[in-house]
Structure 1
């Protein structure tokens, strides 16, 4: 029997071979990516302070992504459909309930097995928005400013409307942040028991670092000419409480808010009475209001960073470096000895 063979042109054979090689290469790349991620805990962090914890504690055993991009103001973040899908595909989410309502909603609606709420890992408090009443300079009564007992020095300033929920800015207090770190370490160990020892070791190292930072702040702010500082928005309530200071904010807990004329006048009087030298503004929010107040009251301006994100404008490459820059700025403004 004669068998007829169909000859394949050389060009077609070459093309087919090349296509097969490309496909094989693509498969190999996919397999390599899968291998690289195999055994890693896929963690989605809501914004930078949570990302920092995840990276420090997880080390090489986690793959961390963040919902809030560098330079993006986190409070009003809108979650995209892509980010919702990202949440569904991850192993764990680390977030701070009460700071980003849209993130809270998206994580609450997801089928994630591990949801780590930093707000539940330490104690939160309600911090009243400083001086937002119409009188502006009345007696504030029994308002407690700090566990160090320095609040009594700050007589004569009204403390107005309280925020509807607890103040979420816990990461600006190194002690509370360390408590959160310990909770995150335990949650990672539970979600990924194969690497429990590594998570415990990394957590201990981070807590030690934060304890050192706390000691630096305690020593650096112990002996100052004044205890009062002015900020754009009330992000530093926990820090002020921890180190016996009094924070006066221009816009309260809303970073995008506008102060009333009475509030501005009250701050000007308070600055003169308490020897305030500096109005602090932030890196992710407009400095226009702070500079206007400073110009009118003949005060200086400087940056006090709430460390909600790291950008090229940040005075440091990570949380600890930026917090040390904050300490330096506070020492200068408060007249530390």
Structure 2
């Protein structure tokens, strides 16, 4: 059985690799200059959730381009010169900030002094979480430049703001205000579409609040520390196998401690993410005798999810279902 699973996992990985290669060969043309549309507000977004909110609020008044290709882990990606050129011709550039986009400093420098693009850090106004007290072991990357824009030191800041509907509401408002600033003529339209989006986010928030307040358990074990904002806003505690970035490797002692925690608290499920290898999750799960479930940090859609019409809301609903299942 184990070897069958191995073969199956290997085959799955091969398919994923092939898909990734096809995607890479295909995305050279997808970001070409022709995408800049005259007569609309041209918006470039750094990754999926911002793209979705910007598209919803922008409606027919905006032409929104997402920098990151489908199915890519945002921590692993860096823009190329074509994308920098495109962005320099746009009216708005939305990025998350809080240290998510490690490439942001050089990207903004690359836009050139004659570019009129308005750059907006959409996490502005969210109370950021310093991840250091969460678990201090994965910060061996002091030397890296984590995008110290605006004079903040984002070295140990948890960048996964959007995973909580409460943060998403602030992001949506920042996006709406930026649209109005660059295109005041369509203020009413932006306000109306923003109100629709905000209502949906409020409903999602209310659902998370209600359903998670009723669970007996409050501890979740996750592969990466991507759920700090979600846990803070809905009264849960996350225990992560790895740190903030997918490259962070756990120490043997961390796995032993987690295994102990799982047994002591009677945890039934360990969560893993779709865009990241789940080898370690499976190891820990089989050691601790528990099952695995997906908890999606909604950093991007896979090709299949895109074709199935999935979006921020459908993925967050699934997250809530899986959380309720794990915490009952």
The residue that corresponds to 2:62 in the other structure is 62
CA drift at 1:119: 2.2
The residue that corresponds to 2:269 in the other structure is 278
In the alignment, structure 1 residue 219 sits paired with structure 2 residue 223: no
168, 182, 185: which is aligned to 1:191? 182
Distance in 2 of aligned mates of 1:169 and 1:127: 11
The residue that corresponds to 2:323 in the other structure is 330
The residue that corresponds to 1:152 in the other structure is none
3-state SS in 2 of match to 1:101 = coil
Residues 143-199 of structure 1 deviation map (CA, whole Å, 9 limit, x = unaligned): xxxxxxxxxxxxxxxxxxxx8232111111111110111111011011011211111
Residues 178-237 of structure 1 deviation map (CA, whole Å, 9 limit, x = unaligned): 011111101101101121111111111111110000011011111212110111110100
Distance in 2 of aligned mates of 1:132 and 1:48: 29
Distance in 1 of aligned mates of 2:323 and 2:136: 23
- Contact preservation (8 Å) 2:45, 2:95: yes
CA drift at 1:120: 1.7
Residues 312-336 of structure 1 deviation map (CA, whole Å, 9 limit, x = unaligned): 454961000000000000000111x
311, 320, 325: which is aligned to 1:318? 311
In the alignment, structure 1 residue 210 sits paired with structure 2 residue 201: yes
3-state SS in 2 of match to 1:302 = strand
- Contact preservation (8 Å) 1:44, 1:87: yes
* Residues 66 and 238 (structure 1), Cα distance of their counterparts in 2 relative to 1, 3 Å cut: same
Stretches of structure 2 that go unaligned for 5 or more consecutive residues are: 1-33, 139-153
The alignment's TM-score, normalised by the length of structure 2, stands at 0.79
Stretches of structure 1 that go unaligned for 5 or more consecutive residues are: 1-32, 135-162
158, 179, 182: which is aligned to 2:170? 179
The alignment's TM-score, normalised by the length of structure 1, stands at 0.77
The residue that corresponds to 1:16 in the other structure is none
3-state SS in 2 of match to 1:307 = coil
Q: Which has the larger radius of gyration?
A: 1
The residue that corresponds to 1:20 in the other structure is none
Distance in 1 of aligned mates of 2:199 and 2:256: 43
3-state SS in 2 of match to 1:128 = helix
In the alignment, structure 1 residue 47 sits paired with structure 2 residue 47: yes
CA drift at 1:131: 4.4
3-state SS in 1 of match to 2:271 = strand
The residue that corresponds to 1:119 in the other structure is 123
Distance in 2 of aligned mates of 1:300 and 1:271: 11
Alignment size in residue pairs: 275
- Contact preservation (8 Å) 2:259, 2:288: yes
CA drift at 1:76: 2.5
The residue that corresponds to 2:108 in the other structure is 107
Distance in 1 of aligned mates of 2:82 and 2:73: 19
The residue that corresponds to 2:85 in the other structure is 85
CA drift at 1:255: 1.5
The residue that corresponds to 1:303 in the other structure is 294
Distance in 2 of aligned mates of 1:205 and 1:178: 12
Residues 284-323 of structure 1 deviation map (CA, whole Å, 9 limit, x = unaligned): 1001111111011111001000000011454961000000
- Contact preservation (8 Å) 1:131, 1:263: no
3-state SS in 2 of match to 1:119 = coil
3-state SS in 2 of match to 1:221 = helix
In the alignment, structure 1 residue 165 sits paired with structure 2 residue 156: yes
- Contact preservation (8 Å) 1:49, 1:308: yes
